[in-house]
Structure 1
Amino acid sequence: MRTKSETRRQAILQAAAEVFRETGFERSSMSDIRERVGYSKPTLYSYFASKEELFSAVVFEATELEFQATLQALDPDQSDITQALESFGQRLLALLYSPQVQALRRMVASQARPSELGRTCYEMGPVRSEAAIAAFLQQAMDRGQLRQTDARIAALQLKGLLEAEWIEPFLFNALNEPKPRQVRDTVARAVAVFMAAYGP
């Protein structure tokens, strides 16, 4: 029974991904997705309660492998802390400012009040990345590659520096998908500032 349920869930996610890609989030509807997948309305809603929930599931499904690869770039065996942070930063910005993740972040930010979708996205993204960054930075501090301080605060400040040049254009819908050269240059500047503050 579980296999059948997962098969149906994956079919819904695939149909939704196709509809969102073809018509965009705003113009898509649950009816469009239901027609594409061929399931009844009760079946569709038994898996996903809303278009927003379904969209977030599609984005998470599409980006989870890249998210894991981004966290794996925080290699504790890397002897050059600057290089390790730059490698991570490039992957993180490329993920955060990909069209899919930009769309999800804007959708969550547009909610008028706190929502389950917002909490889920926060826990799946920022909370997980913050914990991984803090753990990596603490290891670097213990090895003497960074000065000792609160690793969680340092992780938040690193993320803030990485996004500093892009966050406002993003919030005002004035940011296109960044080019690889832009990503590299932004990350190099952010890590230089971070190391000036936290270097041993």
Structure 2
Amino acid sequence: MRAKTEIRRQAILDAAAEVFQETGFERATMAAICERLGYSKATLYNYFASKEELFSAVVFEATEAEFQSTLEALDASFTDITLALEKFGRGLLTLLYSPQVQAMRRLIVSEASRSELGQKCYELGPVRNEAATAVFLQQAMDAGHLRQADAHIAALHLRGLLEAEWLDRFLFQTLGPVADAQINDTVQRAVAAFLAAYGPMPQ
């Protein structure tokens, strides 16, 4: 029974993601999602109490697996800070600029000012990312791989540098598919700039 419940919940999330991406959050309706699934409204509301709750679940579903994979790149046992940061950067940019996550981010941005969705999605993604990155950077600082600084500010600077080359094009929807080679080149430049600011002080 539990397996059947999970299969049905996943079907709801998949259908909802399609509807949200096709129509936007504002115009999407629970009725339209039910119609696509062939489920009754009672069944849908048994899993999700509101459209907002369903949207938050769709966002979480779209990002969680890759987000966890990205966090695994923050390995405290590293011996080369450059390679560690580049591994993290590749994971983060591959996640953020995948077509699926780009579509979700645009939906979130378009709805952020009209409801609490912006805050909820911000907490699901950037807040968790910043906290985990700050812990990793503090460990690197304590080990002498980086100079001592505010780790949370450093985490924001790292993310800003990683996204600097693409963020405006993403926001204005002029960014096409991003190739692995582009990600590698961007990450190398961003990490070099980060280390120029936060690398260990000369002895």
TM-score of Structure 1 vs Structure 2, range by shorter chain: 0.7 to 0.9
CA distance in 2, matches of 1:5, 1:56: 19
Structure 2 match to 1:126:
126
Give the match for residue 77 of structure 1: 77
TM-score (norm 2): 0.86
Percent identical among aligned pairs is 64
Q: What do you get for the CA RMSD once the two structures are aligned? A: 2.4
Unaligned runs of 5+ in 1: none
Could you tell me which residue of structure 2 aligns to residue 142 of structure 1?
142
Matches of 1:34 and 1:170, distance apart in 2: 32
Give the match's secondary structure for 1:110: helix
Name the CA distance, whole Å, in 2 between partners of 1:128 and 1:119.
Answer: 13
Letter in 1 for 2:50: A
Letter in 2 for 1:49: S
Letter in 2 for 1:83: L
The answer on 1:172 being equivalent to 2:181 is no
Secondary structure in structure 1 of the residue aligned to 2:111: coil
Name the residue aligned to 2:22.
Answer: 24
Return the alpha-carbon distance in structure 2 between the equivalents of residues 114 and 131 of structure 1.
Answer: 26
**May I ask how many residue pairs the two structures share in their alignment?**
197
Which sits farther off after the overlay, 141-150 or 30-39?
30-39
> Which structure 2 segments of 5+ residues have no match?
none
In 1, are the aligned partners of 2:112 and 2:119 still within 8 Å (CA)? Answer: no
Q: Counterpart of 2:111?
A: 111
Change (3 A) 1:62 1:107: closer
Query: What is the one-letter code of the residue matched to 2:138?
Result: Q
Assess if the C-alpha contact under 8 Å between 1:59 and 1:100 holds in 2: no
Superposition deviation, residue 64 in structure 1: 1.0
In 2, the alpha carbon distance for the partners of 1:128 and 1:141 equals 20
**2:161 equivalent in structure 1:** 161
